[in-house]
Amino acid sequence: VAGGVLGPAFALEGYAFFIEAIFLGLYLYGWDRLSPRAHWLTGIPVALSGLLSGILVVAANAWMQTPTGLEAALAGPELTITDPAAVGPLAITDALAVFRSPSWFQMALHSSLSCY
C-alpha cells in the first residue's frame, strides 16, 4: 500500500540524485578543464539537487510518521469501524499525499537548516 504513496517521492528523489551525480562529476573532473566561472556554476546544481533529494526523502519519512491519503475498506456492512475485524485492506485515495503530510514542512525545514 505504501508504495503507491511513497513511489512518487522516491522517483523524484532518483532524478534529483542523478542530477547531483552528473554535476558532481562535472565539478570534480572539470576542476582544471573548465573556466573558474563554469566550475563554480556546476556547484550550484550539486547543492540544489542535494537539498531537493533530502527534502524528498524527508517527505517519505514525514508521511510514515503522519500518514494521510488512505482509506480503510470495511469488511462487512454489519461491522463498525471500532471493531478490529472490520478494517479491511487500505486503499490509496491520494497518490500525492506524501507531499501533503502535516509534518512534512517542519521536518524538511529542520533537516535542511541543520544540514546547511
Query: Model pTM?
Result: 0.77
**Identity of the residue numbered 16:** A
- pLDDT one-digit tens code per residue, 58-114: 999 998 898 888 776 655 555 455 555 555 667 778 878 888 889 999 999 999 999
C-beta pairs of 29-38 under 8 Å, 24+ apart in sequence: none
- pLDDT one-digit tens code per residue, 1-42: 677 778 888 999 999 999 999 999 999 999 999 999 999 999
Distance CA 56, CA 108 (A): 8
Distance CA 27, CA 13 (A): 21
CA separation, residue 28 to residues 19, 20, 88 (Å): 14, 12, 53
pLDDT recorded at residue 73: 63
Distance CA 22, CA 16 (A): 10
pLDDT recorded at residue 79: 46
